[in-house]
Structure formats: structure tokens, C-alpha cells
Amino acid sequence: MIRRLTVSVVLLASLAACGGDNSSGQPPNGSPGDPGGLPVASFTARDGTAFGVQVVATGLQIPWSLAFAPDGRLFITERPGRVRIFASGQLQAAPALQLSDVFTSGESGVLGLALHPDFATNHLVYLTYTANGADGPIARLVRFREAGNQLVEPVVLLDDVPAANIHNGSRVKFGPDRLLYVTFGDVAEPSNAQDVASLNGKILRLNDDGTSAAGNRFASPVFSFGHRNPQGLAWHPTTRDLWETEHGNVGNDEINVIESGGNYGWPVIEGDETRPDMRAPIEFFAPSVAPSGADFYTGPGISGFRNQLFVATLKATALVRVVIDGSTSRHVAYTERLLEGIYGRLRDVVMGPDGYLYISTSNRDGRTTPVAEDDRLIRIVPVR
């Protein structure tokens, strides 16, 4: 049932932020804006592809999800309960949203965020967060309307989904089919993943009003099942295949290509195990890298990265590059770790409208020792 939600919006003290030029000329229209010069650290991938990294914002508080508006503004969730906006090279001091009923223990809090495909005209924003329910933590999907850099008019689309302090998911993205995809983890109850009556351990596919999309196998929001803790969703720019990343048990972190109604095995199989009625991953990692957000590079500036998948990882403290054979193939040629150990734990990665790849750190989440500038927003840019 759709219902209204009361939230509070408060002002926060200004956080440190900075912006700068890209190193290879003016960005195209739709850039979030670069008013001043920024240093570029240069790197080379194993195949000789050169790229640069810039730190574009600092002082974030456990950012979880990044989503760009068509006008170049970047919306950022902060796990303690906020949504921030980065625009014109600056992190805005006032949050777009401050939630008052957030459960923030462990891995919980404000998590996934997506903007409607027609955001330019309807200004709709979709958010998942962990709330304090009457009998414990619950996950909630809420739709807001953006007005004047504030998120207003909340409407709850999904409520009372079981949550916990671990394994909550929860990525939110619109697909090329204009449907809304939402991931929920198994909340440390592995049997949830195989129970198709449960929304936990699943990828959901919804209409933009929160109702179940037509064609879902179980006539419910469930699109695929058998997932442990899925945190990354990305559509291949050529094939439109949905690629997903999820945390394994002890190692066995997975990259899957998702098919409607597919069973991805957890907790029955994982890693290189197989069963005829279950889908095996196209790539897995043992030991663990703890994969989170993922996106394909589609920018014009780094041809060696074109149509390859990039995965933000927490435990590996690296941006994992997934090199795919051919533009229509599901075969992974190899993976490599970029930026390993340099910026710490990485949570999300998205393509920006300026053709750059944006990445957020997660060094204030209690799993490592942050530096003064954490958490940071960095971006991958071309180098001359």
C-alpha cells in the first residue's frame, strides 16, 4: 500500500568540498561543474590504458549511493540519514533530505537512490533506507519529489521489508526498460534467498509507482532470487544485459548476469558450484573483495575502458576493472585491481554526464581508519 511519510529537513554545517578542471579540455554539457584547477594523479592499467584521478569533494559521511540528474547535479546518500547534492563543483551545505527515523547500526542507514528517467520534468527521486520499525529494523522504499534542491512529498512504495545490521543490500536503479530495480539482501537469514514469498535475498522489478512489473515470474515484485547481499546493478551499454555484484559467504563474491526469474543459488550453491536449476556466476572472487556499486564506462575520453564494467570494492580497497571479450559477449577475459590501497574502501561508482567515472569512498564506516579528508568523491578522467 502506498502511504505518506513524514520526514524532517534540517540544515547542516558546511562540509569541505572542492572542484576543478579536467585535464584534457572542457567537459561536455551536463558536467557538474569545475570552477577551479584540481591536481590529477596519473595511472596506467595493465594493458597500457592511461587514466587520471581527481579528488573532487571531501568531508562526506559514509556515502552509499551516487545518482546524477540530467542537469549534472549529483545526488549522494549518506548512511547516517541524509541526501546531499554536489553541484557546480561544490558540495552544498544544506542537505536535500534529513531523515529522523533511520536505523544506523552496522551496515544499515540511508542506502540506495535513483532518479526517475523523466526527472527533468517530474523531479521524482527514489530512496531505500533502514528504518526503526515497531519490532526492529525494516527496509523502506520511498519516492520523493525534488524542489529547490530539497526532497519533499514523500510517498512510501514498499514498507516493512525485514532488515538487519548486515546484508541489507540495497541498490536502487532504473533500467533501460524504464522499470525500477531494487536489491535486498538476505538479512543474515540464508533461507530467505530461496523463499520466493520473501523480498529478502532478491532483485525486485517494479513500475515507477512501486507496483509489480508485468512479466515477473512469480506475479510479485521478485525478478530474481537466490542472492546473498546484492549491492551492484549495471546494464551493458550494447546488449542491455543486467550485470549484478554481490557479497559471498567466505570469499565467493559474485558477478552475475541476471535473467528474469533466475535462481542464483544462495545458499545452496556459490562460487564455482553448479546445479542444473540454478545460475552460476560469470565471475567470482576468492578471497573476498567485498563488491559494492558497479557501472559500465561509456565515456569518450578513455577508449581502452569503453564498455567495460567497473566495480567498487570495500575489502580489496580497489576499483575492479572487468574486461569483457567483445561488445556483445558475457565472457570475462580478465579482471584487475586499479587504485588498490590508495583511496581506501570504495562503495559506489557511476558514469557522469560529463563522461567521467565517479567513485565514493567508505572509510568512515567503522571498518578502517579514515584520513582527515574522508569520505571522498573521486573521479576517473582522461590524461594527455
- Closest by CA to 51, choosing from 357, 293, 292, is 357
> Which residue has cell 559521511?
61
How far is it, in rounded angstroms, from Cα 112 to Cα 115? Answer: 11
Q: For residue range 119-169, list pLDDT tens digits in order.
A: 999 999 999 999 999 999 999 999 999 999 999 999 999 999 999 999 999
pLDDT at 301 over 80: yes
Please list the residues that pair with 195 across neighbouring strands: none
What is the arithmetic mean of pLDDT over 173-199? 98
Q: For residue 156, what are the contacts with CB-CB under 8 A and spacing of at least 6?
A: 2, 3, 4, 5, 140, 141, 142
Q: Which pLDDT band holds residue 213 (cuts at 50, 70, 90)?
A: very high
67 sits in which H/E element? strand 63-68
Q: Which pLDDT band holds residue 7 (cuts at 50, 70, 90)?
A: very low
- Closest by CA to 45, choosing from 284, 292, 293, 310, is 310
Q: Which pLDDT band holds residue 5 (cuts at 50, 70, 90)?
A: low
Q: How much is the CA Rg of the chain, to the nearest whole Å?
A: 19
pLDDT at 17 over 50: no
CA dihedral 332, 216, 351, 145 (to 10 degrees): -170
Q: For residue range 303-312, list pLDDT tens digits in order.
A: 999 999 999 9
Structural contact between residues 71 and 119, judged by C-beta atoms closer than 8 angstroms: no
Structural contact between residues 255 and 281, judged by C-beta atoms closer than 8 angstroms: yes
- Whether the CA torsion 131, 134, 136, 140 is positive or negative: it is negative
pLDDT at 30 over 70: no
Q: Which pLDDT band holds residue 329 (cuts at 50, 70, 90)?
A: confident
Query: Which pLDDT does position 37 carry in this prediction?
Result: 80
Q: Which of 12-26, 195-209, 345-359 has the lowest mean pLDDT?
A: 12-26
> Which residue has cell 531494487?
182
**What phi and psi, each to the nearest 5 degrees, are found at residue 82?**
-125, 160
Q: For residue range 371-383, list pLDDT tens digits in order.
A: 999 999 999 999 9
Which cell goes with 30?
Answer: 551536463
Proportion of the chain above pLDDT 90, given as a percent = 89
> Which CATH architecture describes the domain 19-381?
6 Propeller (2.120)
Residue 315 CA neighbour count, 13 Å, CB half: 13
pTM as predicted: 0.91
pLDDT at 286 over 50: yes
Query: Which pLDDT does position 328 carry in this prediction?
Result: 78
Q: For residue range 224-275, list pLDDT tens digits in order.
A: 999 999 999 999 999 999 999 999 999 999 999 999 999 999 999 999 999 9
Q: For residue 91, what are the contacts with CB-CB under 8 A and spacing of at least 6?
A: 15, 16, 17, 57, 59, 60, 84, 85, 377
Q: Which of 20-29, 63-72, 315-324 has the lowest mean pLDDT?
A: 20-29
pLDDT at 71 over 90: yes
Map residue 322 onto helix, strand or coil.
Answer: strand
Exposure string of 116-136, with b = 16+ CB inside 10 Å and e = fewer, is bbebeeebbbbbbbbbebeee
How far is it, in rounded angstroms, from Cα 249 to Cα 246? Answer: 10
pLDDT at 366 over 90: yes
